[in-house]
Amino acid sequence: MISRKWLFLNTGFRDGEFNMNFDRGLAHLFGKGKIRPVLRVYGWKPYAISIGYNQDESVFDIEKIKKAGFDFVRRPTGGRAILHSEELTYSIVVDGAGKTVLEVYNLLSRGIAKGLSLLGAKFELEESQPNFSKIYKQFSSIPCFATSAKYEIHFAGRKVVGSAQRRYGDVVLQHGSILIGEFHKKLPEFLKVESQDLIEKMKLEIERKTICLNEILGRNVSFEEVAESLKRGFEVEFGISFEEISETKLLEMIL
């Protein structure tokens, strides 16, 4: 599964529609055999709320989201809602033939954790798997960072990276958010919830279960610093050699 030659792409800060379409495009190109495995890093401008492929959007206050100046997009992957703000988002496209979903999560999380460790802290992988069907039945709007899946990345028991995955045949698209700052905690404010108490409880739950790189390292961490560490982590963990490719060239292939 882990090829020794990958593409690396930093597309910087783009809007939500561009980011999701670009990830879909990379998966399509890989499935056609036109590109190597890819590690892409990007940010969001403006900030955006993304929801999972099958998530009900009616629980969100779209008008309030637009008034805040945020995008609202649906991801091609599963999972729950994320407020993309002070973070680095990664996306990876690889061959998943012969590997289960959890096996791929485990493998890719090792590379991500290695990269984050180069920033100066030790990160761990979640070892348990919650009953998501039960959780989602109780709270259809539950934010992604309020729960942890197996092999997601923690620091001192609190979630640092939230990831989601989709398969197109043997092609795996996995993308996720690496928390740099704390703005993501505001997500519950954009839910259609009548009880302010419930909103505050959800915000406290996110506070309790997540932690960002700025807090872990006790300093302001830059997007570019995380991007470089992530790239280096995959090189160290898997012996990968990256070739950088231009966004323009890939866009021409996608379009």
The band of 151, judged by pLDDT with boundaries at 50, 70 and 90, is: confident
Distance in Å from the first CA to the final CA of the chain:
27
Q: How far apart are CA 71 and CA 116, in angstroms?
A: 28
- In this predicted structure, the answer to whether residue 133 has a pLDDT above a threshold of 80 is no
Phi, psi of 76 (to 5 degrees): -75, -15
Q: Give pLDDT, residue 184.
A: 98
Q: How far apart are CA 161 and CA 180, in angstroms?
A: 10
Give me the chain's average pLDDT, please.
Answer: 92
Q: How far apart are CA 17 and CA 72, in angstroms?
A: 9
Which residues are within 8 A (CB) of 190 and not within 5 positions of it... i.e. 6 or more apart? 49, 60, 61, 64, 65, 68, 70, 83
The domains located in the chain, with CATH, are: 5-254 (3.30.930.10)
Q: What is each CA distance from 131 to 19, 87, 137, 147, 211, in whole angstroms? A: 30, 27, 10, 10, 23
Beta strands 5-14 and 38-44, pairing class: parallel
Per-residue pLDDT tens over the stretch 192-231: 988 899 999 999 999 999 999 999 999 999 999 999 999 9
Cβ proximity of 230 and 119 under 8 Å: no
- In this predicted structure, the answer to whether residue 126 has a pLDDT above a threshold of 90 is no
Which residues are within 8 A (CB) of 177 and not within 5 positions of it... i.e. 6 or more apart? 82, 84, 87, 88, 89, 144, 161, 162, 163, 184
Cβ proximity of 144 and 82 under 8 Å: yes
Mean pLDDT on 123-134: 64
Q: What is this structure's pTM? A: 0.92
Mean pLDDT on 143-151: 63
Name the region of 101 (left: φ>0; alpha: ψ -120 to 50; beta: rest). Answer: alpha
Could you tell me what percent of the chain has a pLDDT over 90? 84
Could you tell me what percent of the chain has a pLDDT over 70? 91
Give catalytic status of residue 212 as yes or no. no
The band of 236, judged by pLDDT with boundaries at 50, 70 and 90, is: very high
- In this predicted structure, the answer to whether residue 129 has a pLDDT above a threshold of 60 is no
Cβ proximity of 162 and 187 under 8 Å: no
Cβ proximity of 1 and 103 under 8 Å: no
The single-letter DSSP state of residue 95 is E
Q: How far apart are CA 234 and CA 69, in angstroms?
A: 35
CB atoms within 10 A of CB 225: 16
Considering the candidates 144, 206, 211, 240, report the single residue annotated as catalytic.
Answer: 144
